[in-house]
Amino acid sequence: MQQRYPITPAGHKKLKKELKQIMEVDRPENVRDIEEARSHGDLSENAEYSAAKERQAYLDARRKELETKIALAEVIDPTTLKEDKVVFGATITLYDVDTEEEITYTIVGEDESDAKKGRISLKSPMARALIGNRVDDSVKVKTPRGLREYEIMDIKFMPVTLE
């Protein structure tokens, strides 16, 4: 049995949108580019043809990857969760013991993560350290800047937006 791929509704929609873009716009455009490059003659020294074929390979690989992720997606809507501990989809407010600052992260799927926007991948060291903990728990995380300690101040379950 293949492993499920956890993702929020917003992330699932984004993957489907990208797949549609590839199938309806990018791939047909690429086919036209290949046809045009072929019309220029000798394919062995045709840079346009080579570039178009490379683009075709990329688009086909990405299409297959997206189809697999969509087929294996386990869409989890954080707004339906009623947990008292950190799980996928949780928005967690942390207190950094060293810097005395508050930070907020939402745990999302790999394709949805963007640390600058406060969305961290379920597979990230930070998310793995937080999963299963509750409010007031202290969590130590090994980061590039060394071992950091955080206290979980709040856990919420709200809609994830990818803008």
DSSP letters, 64-117, are HHHHHHHHHEEE--GGG---SB--TT-EEEEEETTTTEEEEEEEE-GGG-BGGG
CATH architecture, domain defined by 78-156: Roll (3.10)
The Cα angle at residue 38 between residues 36 and 44, in degrees rounded to 5: 140
CA distance 145 to 35: 52
* Confidence band for 1, pLDDT divided at 50, 70 and 90: low
Q: Write out pLDDT tens, residues 121-130.
A: 999 999 999 9
Domain ranges, ordered by start, for the chain: 5-75, 78-156
Candidate CATH numbers 1.10.287.180, 1.10.150.120, 3.40.50.920, 1.20.58.100; the one for domain 5-75? 1.10.287.180
Q: Write out pLDDT tens, residues 42-89.
A: 777 778 898 999 999 999 999 999 999 999 999 999 999 988 999 999
Instruction: Write down the pTM of the prediction.
Output: 0.85
Strand partners, 148: 141
